[in-house]
Chains A and B, each alone.
Chain A
Amino acid sequence: MKVVVGQGSCGVATGAKKTSAEFEKHIAAAGLDIPVEKTGCVGNCYLEPIVDIYGDGDVLAARYVRVQPAKVEEIVEKHLKGGSIVEELVISETDEKFLSSQKRIVLRNAGVINPESIDAYIAVGGYKAIEKALKDMSPEEVIEEVKISGLRGRGGAGFPTWFKWDAAKKNRGANKYMVCNADEGDPGAFMDRSVLEGDPHSLLEGMTIGGFAMGANEGVIYVRAEYPLAILRLEMAIEQSRGKGFLGKNLFGTGFDFDIRIKAGAGAFVCGEETALIASLEGERGMPRLKPPFPAEKGFWQQPTNINNVETFANVPWIIANGGAAFGAVGTDKSKGTKVFALAGKIKKGGLVEVPMGLPLKDVIYGIGDGIKNDKAFKAVQMGGPSGGCIPASLIDTPVDYENITKTGAIVGSGGMIVMDETTCMVDMARYFLDFTRKESCGKCNYCRVGTKRMLEILERITRGEGRDGDIELLTELAEKIKDGSMCGLGQTAPNPVLTTIRYFRNEYEDHIYNKKCTAHSCKALLTFEITDKCTGCTLCSRKCPAMAISGERKQKHVIDLDKCIRCGKCEESCNFGAILRD
């Protein structure tokens, strides 16, 4: 018997460490001898902390959800000691559907095994794929297998993985480098974090296989400094792997050397771009350069270099172990395999979702995510982060694959899926993303540096209620110029959030500009507050109002002076009777 507590960042944030400690305390107090272990992110972030109890023969006996420390004693007493399951804390059938309707390749081990134990990874078949590749396959055969699988880069662009490996293999150099981009900079995406925290060995194994295929002896993982837990678990995994001889010299007695080191990024979104990432690895400012030469020719220290994303690498051991054809059987014609999405925003059941490519958006949002929080109306889903776009409710039947999502104007990107409801203002969303790209622009290209700033100024003006006739056209023109005039992906895609929101939600822009109204009631400057007849005259709002804009006698309906009102919303927040109407 054992107790396993999910301790990814989400779990820890909801108190999983305390829950775990509480288990240890109560198990000791009850005189039992049951180990308390940890695992990575299970995926149902909304149910954390999640605790799995395994019975004899490592069979899952019960999965308990939302196990706050106070509930631990009951589980220890009734289940661990008494042998009867605490039914009211067990995961519900509908919540179980969240997991069972997914297809897990990348996340096959996340939330299942202990990420801090190499033996746990080996027990589920780990490091078998690299052994197979090294002993039974040539580098060409590995590349061929990846080609058959149809695996495309999961970092955003969707470039065929085998092609990059092959190019890097064919180029000569004194040293070659296999680099993993784990600098998950897209705000609203956390797929890579979960793999790094939940199954770090799969990344190491994938990189080693890739290194063998392209002829590299050194691997570098460029990981965000904002993910301390991921760095910690990677460091442990590398140590353990070296200890077992899966990293280092003469792997499996085949004469192939490969080692991996970690380089912590220092926070720059543009470093997701390959050449910028390489500059950063070399200790420079992370600024992109012109391509060609591509990194496969001249990359890290001018040597042939291949860069893939975490999720791409995590697929590789599965492909080698199960064959490229098995992977290719999942997904659509041009987009093979699965994709992990980070489902968040105004969604009931947020978390990590891995589905076969080609599943309609609707099945992800309603089937797995269970629809919109508080049953509000679904408005749009944002995909691809600052480089992507907003897909409106009318296109909810769009299959999720590279081609179909690109047609909508968004991109699959790294996998962020932010759901928005009727209270999200689309002009404000565009402003939000432009604010991000404007800050993150490295400044090398004029159009990106100055253009994003100009676009942001216009969007800020519109959300302040100072929009002018011609603003939409000006935004569109600027957007096209920035796309054409920027050297790297950041600038080329930065206008996408604006273009897609104009394309699908032009009426909202027009409402802001011409009617000075924000239909989502989100842009503060365009709000008006009014006190309705529900007012009991309790005077609370007038006391809370920082602008002293509310007047009225006690026990009489109050009135807001709109000239004085600063639209802070304090009155609405404080009112106990729902008497304040926001329009």
Chain B
Amino acid sequence: MCENCCKGGAAADFTALAPVLEKYGGVKGSLITILQKTQDIYGYLSLDAINYIAANIGVKPAKIYGVATFYTQFRLKPIGKNLIMLCKGTACHVNGADLIEEAVTEFLGISDGETTSDGLFTLNNVACLGCCSLAPVMMVKGADGEETFGNLTKDSVRAVLKEIGDREKGVAV
């Protein structure tokens, strides 16, 4: 993962944040936007990043931490290369989202909120992706953007994960 920004101390480099803080730092009510942009850049909100933002926009770190932990979008830990957003909305629940979660958990050996040891996948259960007619659904966010997979079965979800995994490993080799 990002060795340079989350190790704390002098190594932390937040130059990429400068334009964000310049644009939004002085605009009141922009804290959530700043945190979103920060997460876009680094993939998550490290404690160092929170402290850095706090020092630069004159807000207490505790307040930023409070906001960051209130909203489900914000992560305080790094994520894998592919973020699996498994929909647990009502339609998906009725159509067997639990079985799909079981399949993902078995296949990757991680449960909700965890990342695989090879850093390829993170599993996040989400409330609703809004593709209810295609339930059960999941969205995978990787380097090339998001892709949504619908009408999942235990077999099809395994096939999708295998394909992504193979592709990633192919790139790595």
Residues of A within 8 A of B (CB): 9-10, 12-14, 45-46, 48, 184-190, 193, 225-228, 263-269, 280-286, 301, 342-346, 350-351, 382, 385, 416, 418, 420, 424, 429, 432-433, 436, 442, 573
| Pair A188/B33 contact, Cβ less than 8 Å | no
Residues of chain B within 8 A of A385, CB atoms compared:
90
Q: In chain B, residues 117-164, which have Cβ atoms closer than 8 Å to a Cβ of chain A?
A: 126-135, 137, 146, 148-150, 154
Report the Cα distance A13→B147, complex, angstroms.
7
Residues of chain B within 8 A of A432, CB atoms compared:
90, 93
| Pair A286/B128 contact, Cβ less than 8 Å | no
Q: Could you say which of B90, B94, B128 has the most chain A C-beta atoms within 10 Å of its C-beta?
A: B90
Known: A283-B29, A342-B132. 10 other contacts (CB 8 A): A12-B148, A45-B131, A48-B134, A226-B126, A266-B74, A283-B30, A283-B67, A344-B91, A350-B133, A424-B94
B92 to chain A, nearest CB (A): 8
Residues of chain B within 8 A of A267, CB atoms compared:
71-73, 127
| Pair A283/B127 contact, Cβ less than 8 Å | no
Any chain A CB within 8 A of the CB of B46? no
Residues of chain B within 8 A of A226, CB atoms compared:
85, 126, 128-130
Residues of B within 8 A of A (CB): 28-33, 35-36, 66-67, 70-74, 85, 88-91, 93-95, 126-135, 137, 146, 148-150, 154
Known: A266-B72, A345-B95, A432-B93. A189 touches B33 (CB 8 A): no
Residues of chain A within 8 A of B29, CB atoms compared:
281-283, 301
B10 to chain A, nearest CB (A): 30
| Pair A193/B90 contact, Cβ less than 8 Å | no
CB-nearest residue of chain A relative to B128? A187
| Pair A9/B130 contact, Cβ less than 8 Å | yes
Which one, B33, B88, B89, B95, contacts A346 given CB within 8 A? B95
Residues of chain A within 8 A of B71, CB atoms compared:
265-268, 286
Known: A266-B74, A284-B67. A193 touches B30 (CB 8 A): no
Which one, A48, A344, A573, contacts B135 given CB within 8 A? A344
Known: A226-B126, A285-B70. A344 touches B32 (CB 8 A): no
| Pair A286/B70 contact, Cβ less than 8 Å | yes
Known: A13-B148, A344-B91. A190 touches B70 (CB 8 A): no
Residues of chain A within 8 A of B93, CB atoms compared:
187, 432
Known: A185-B127, A280-B32, A283-B67. A13 touches B91 (CB 8 A): no
Q: Could you say which of A301, A350, A420 has the most chain B C-beta atoms within 10 Å of its C-beta?
A: A350
Which one, B28, B32, B94, B133, contacts A351 given CB within 8 A? B133
| Pair A188/B72 contact, Cβ less than 8 Å | no
Residues of chain B within 8 A of A227, CB atoms compared:
130
Which one, B33, B90, B127, contacts A418 given CB within 8 A? B90
| Pair A187/B32 contact, Cβ less than 8 Å | no
Residues of chain B within 8 A of A283, CB atoms compared:
28-33, 67
| Pair B32/A189 contact, Cβ less than 8 Å | no
B138 to chain A, nearest CB (A): 10
CB-nearest residue of chain B relative to A229? B146
Q: Could you say which of B29, B85, B127 has the most chain A C-beta atoms within 10 Å of its C-beta?
A: B127
Report the Cα distance A301→B129, complex, angstroms.
31
Residues of chain B within 8 A of A46, CB atoms compared:
133
Report the Cα distance A429→B90, complex, angstroms.
9
Interface pairs (5), CB distance under 8 Å: A10-B133, A13-B148, A190-B130, A226-B126, A226-B128
B45 to chain A, nearest CB (A): 11
| Pair A344/B133 contact, Cβ less than 8 Å | yes
Report the Cα distance A323→B67, complex, angstroms.
44
A111 to chain B, nearest CB (A): 14
| Pair A285/B67 contact, Cβ less than 8 Å | yes
| Pair B90/A416 contact, Cβ less than 8 Å | yes
Report the Cα distance A280→B71, complex, angstroms.
10
CB-nearest residue of chain B relative to A373? B95
CB-nearest residue of chain A relative to B68? A266
Residues of chain B within 8 A of A282, CB atoms compared:
28-29
Report the Cα distance A228→B147, complex, angstroms.
11
Residues of chain A within 8 A of B130, CB atoms compared:
9, 184, 189-190, 193, 226-227
| Pair A13/B131 contact, Cβ less than 8 Å | yes
| Pair A10/B131 contact, Cβ less than 8 Å | yes
Report the Cα distance A432→B146, complex, angstroms.
27
| Pair A190/B32 contact, Cβ less than 8 Å | no
Known: A188-B89, A225-B36, A283-B29. A13 touches B150 (CB 8 A): yes
Report the Cα distance A184→B127, complex, angstroms.
11
Report the Cα distance A541→B88, complex, angstroms.
29
| Pair A436/B94 contact, Cβ less than 8 Å | no
Residues of chain A within 8 A of B131, CB atoms compared:
9-10, 13, 45, 190
A490 to chain B, nearest CB (A): 14
Report the Cα distance A344→B149, complex, angstroms.
16
Known: A13-B149, A187-B89. A343 touches B133 (CB 8 A): yes
| Pair B66/A285 contact, Cβ less than 8 Å | yes
Report the Cα distance A67→B126, complex, angstroms.
29
Report the Cα distance A286→B163, complex, angstroms.
39
B27 to chain A, nearest CB (A): 9
| Pair B91/A188 contact, Cβ less than 8 Å | yes
Report the Cα distance A442→B71, complex, angstroms.
10
| Pair A189/B133 contact, Cβ less than 8 Å | no
Report the Cα distance A345→B97, complex, angstroms.
12
